Amino acid sequence: RSHSMTTRLGVLLGARCGASAAAARAAAAKRHVASARTVHARTVRQALGSATAAPAMVDTEAAVGQKLHGWTCERVEELAELKCMGMLWRHDKTGAECLSVAQPLEENKTFGVVFRTPPESSNGIAHVLEHSVLCGSRKYPVKEPFTELMKGSLQTFLNAMTFPDRTCYPVASCNLQDFYNLVDVYLDAVLHPRALKDPRVLAQEGWHYEVEEKDKPLTFKGVVFNEMKGVYSNPDSLQGRTLLNNLLPDTPYGVDSGGDPREIPNLTFDYFKGFHERFYHPSNAKFWFYGDDPPARRLELLDEFLRDFERKEVTSEIPLQPLWAEPRRVEHSFAVGKDEDISKKSMACVSWVLSEDKPNLETSLALSIMDYCLMGTPGAPLRKALTDAGLGSRVIGGGLYEGLVQPTFSVGLKDIKETDAAAVEELITKTLEKVASERFEKESIEAALNKIEFENRELNTGGLPRGLALMFSAVSNWNYGKDPFEGLRFDAPLKALREKLVEKGEPLLEGILREKLLNNKHRLTVTSKPDFEESSRIEAAEKARLEKHRTSLSEDDIEALITATKELREMQETPDKPEELASVPRLELSDIPKETLKIPSQIGRLGSAEVLRNPQLTSGVVYVDVAFNLRDVPARLLPLLPLFTRGLREMGTKKSDFVQLQRRLDLATGGISASPLISSKRNSDEPAAYLVMRGKAMEGKIDSLMDLMGEIATEVTWENQSRFLQLAKESHAGGRSSLLSAGHVIAAGRLGRQTTTAGWASEQLSGLSQFEAVGKLLEQAEKDWPAVEAQLRELQSCIFKDACVMNLTADTDVLTRLDSHMETFLKRLPEGKASSPFWVPELARASEGIIVPSQVNYVGKGANLYKDSDYKLHGSAVVTSRLLGTTWLWDRVRVSGGAYGGFCSFDVRSGDFKYLSYRDPNLTKTIDNYDGTPDFLRDLEVNADMLAKSVIGTMGDVDKHQLPDAKGYTALTRHLLGETDEMRQELRDQILSTTGDDMRRFAGALEAVRSGPVCVVGGEEAVRGASESLGLSLKSPLAAAPGTA
């Protein structure tokens, strides 16, 4: 949900990768989010399964009433689904609670502390405080212990999150000492932050007036201020926030915990301190541990901090929203560009509060099943009715959400005519009435039950630590005074529901639908309308506010502000003292393994196919990846590939229409997907380019999985014009959202398309070129469908051939039983091998300005170090790039400049180096900072501590923890890219042996970026204002086509 949380780190950690890796991560994230949406909070718990390896010895014995390290055990629960024990402890002195889950099978240890932080206004206090407490503390008196941890930790997760009613501080690491270091820094940060004594932290992270000279205007600056400007520039985010604030108006959800940019400047230092004093107390804290670390030591660590506090009465309970007697309606406006076509740009969303309180586990699971049956697949009746109506481009709302004190349900349409809002509401109501009277189909219910059970048992959380996902599930109850263990269970209620719904055929879901939706008067309809003048009004109001304040200031007041601006900047740019930096704990280089981590993989053949077999502990789940070479795909068809891959699963086959196909998938498998994998290869001008089909199922269902994968590849039908148009409209709407919310990704793609074939091809599939191509494709599909259908068939014939690469990941014994199933699949594929030469695009360099309706900018600049300089790859470049992101760019672009993110990426495969900023109030100043990077490096004094931190942090990225399926997929990508263990070991040796001289030498390579092209995504005034000095070629991708209104 767009309003569910804001985070301190933003995009910083996820941005350090090449274009292909970014695309792969995005695809993986989408898969995880999509599956999580289906079953919501209940999907993130599961048994790690029947692993055969001996678990680490962890003492999990505890008894109710036992006293240990200042804590008393209140509950001991066997978590059968997780195959481990959970213990709930209460701190004797403060009343703090700790849920300690001892999981000997989990090396990725997780800790979190959660405070209830109900906001009273939209001044962003909870969000600003979340940022600020990580800016130095009692034990760690440096400006940014958070960034020091990023520099020198093997962390697998390090962030902080503001939800609408709580603030979470989670960390994770596989290294025990590193884990303890993270816990120690975070505990000191939340309980003893320096921000309470230094108003400059609030000024930096929240907001401040900035003026550098007497004759210059006042401006607002601050990291959270600019972050939320970016959020409020996105119509989707604004719609979600408006919905939440008005659906539960008599609760803390009636205001924006992230902060409204119009309200953030009302936040005072006294209120800031008072909020921390009220809510950041152990008596208001819930602590979480999960993993194979010693449980007793957890309590000891916590007591070392908590023993200094006394028990305190904290009023932080989240009040329930009284249910309404009559439905309500709200309208609001969002900004659009002056040259956009707004004839179909409105949104309408209908939302309900489903109950007066949080439901029990069985009811919650029943709601999830109902949600899946209504909305969970393209063929689900409510989603399908809205899509088929042709009123809008994309279903919005997200369906069921259980992360608040009361569950909600939301559904609507995007890109509708303003006059069609009532028709959307009527269609939703009529469809729900029809489903209630005709009943849900039995197969749909069975598919929902199977999907929920599979995802709970697999617990595939992607890049998110399992312990963190489980913490979120526990807290979704725990935060509201409910049983935290209930959020970690599913077996018994799922079994009971299967009996009621399938075996007995009880009309349970229909009863819930009538009670919670049709007969529920607590319903809100939100209509979001585009407005050409909204952006101007917002900017004018801010300028007027600043001018009014300036006129109230005396000459002395202005001088004081100028001095404060200079002092803040001086503080931000003054390095911490070496002795203070040394206080932040870190590992030693000797703790880092010298040998590269290998993924065991056996390579063989089955007929024309190459087969990789990856033995992993997968609890009986079989993961199948099939990579088809894209060599034979003509360049003219590349922009069609994303819609082609989606259509494979959502257009239907000769045996089943797309509704039946999805149901068959959910009844028998954990899902099937297809996506492109395009990347540069080291020491080669040719890219690696594949379409990868991915599927997963329990071993007993492998026949069904391979039959479905074969059917999709060979029997997909392309005749359904209306269905394809629906997919294309959804894709185009998603592309528009990306332009407004992920401008840094767009800018990176535009820079990458100028340097390598892989970069060019990737941008055809996922960047601005893709957005423009889908717009043209929509017109063609409406006017000349046979031509588009022929292109889709041509793609199919170009791609699916039996000379493919199969990648199997499963338990060792299961791998020995899969060959016959794979051979049956391969026999269905046409014979052949991709043999055409790769694409040869023209790679022209140019600087671009991409104009969108936004209050902030996304600024990129780059070059290819292999082609634009004489640089030869050395592993120290990876260390240096990471260092820049946590020092120079962090300090100048984020801390001093006020952007939400400032970072760089270096792709060792392609040689592309890119600077990028995220939600940035500046433009040319940011580019000046980029251009100052070589000088910063040349003057850099690299001491032993800085060097060790940089290397250790880099190795944390290199050796990132992965779940079994991710390890298997990594083995496949390394094979396809020709990256051997020897190549990886050479790079690792170079990383570990990096010196200060290596870092300084990298400055020479970065000189090439000074003269490299720029790409800026931002508001019209900012982009046009910089276009002449930067030589920008301007584009307005959201502008209406000539002749449209």
Rg (CA), the chain: 28
What ranges in 198-336 are assigned the alpha helix state H?
A: 199-205, 223-232, 235-247, 269-279, 295-306
DSSP string, 178-205: HHHHHHHHHHHHHHSBGGGT-HHHHHHH
Closest CA to 517 of 405, 436, 440, 442: 436
Residue 141: count other Cβ atoms within 10 Å of its Cβ: 16
The answer to whether 111 and 179 are in contact (CB under 8 A) is: yes
Any catalytic annotation for residue 205? yes
Q: Please name the amino acid found at residue 768.
A: L
Question: Which tokens go with 498?
Answer: 């299967």
Query: Which of 177, 159, 179, 176 shows the shortest CA–CA distance to 168?
Result: 159
The three-state secondary structure class of 113 is strand
Please tell me whether residue 947 adopts helix, strand or coil conformation: helix
Residue type, 411: V
Query: What is the rounded CA–CA span in Å between residue 928 and residue 922?
Result: 10
Nearest 5 degrees, angle CA 312-CA 315-CA 317? 130
Is the CB of residue 768 less than 8 Å from the CB of residue 639?
no
Q: In a 3-state reduction of DSSP, which class is residue 249?
A: coil
Within 907-963, residue ranges assigned H as helices are 924-931, 933-938, 944-958
- Is 438 in the active site? no
Place of tokens 């091809």: 761
- Scored b (16 or more CB within 10 A) or e, 626-661 reads bbbbbbbbeeebbbbbbbbbbbbbbbbbeebebbeb
Laid out side by side, the sheet with 602-606 consists of 602-606, 609-615, 805-810, 621-629, 687-698, 671-680
Q: CA of 210: how far to CAs of 558, 710, 1035, in Å? A: 10, 62, 31
Q: Which of 97, 106, 130, 227 is catalytic?
A: 130
Q: What is the dihedral of CA 810, 813, 816, 817, to 10 degrees?
A: -80
- Could you give the CA distance from residue 356 to residue 334 in angstroms, rounded to a whole number? 32
* Terminal-residue alpha carbon distance, the chain: 32
Query: 115: helix, coil or strand?
Result: strand
Find the catalytic residue in 97, 106, 144, 205: 205
Among 526, 828, 895, residue whose Cα is nearest residue 654: 828
Distance CA 945, CA 263 (A): 41
For residue 88, the SS3 value is strand
386, 646, 703, 824, 1028 from 726: Cα distances, Å: 11, 11, 32, 34, 40
Cβ-in-10-Å burial (0-12, 13-18, 19+) of 1040 comes to middle
Residues labelled as active-site residues: 130, 205
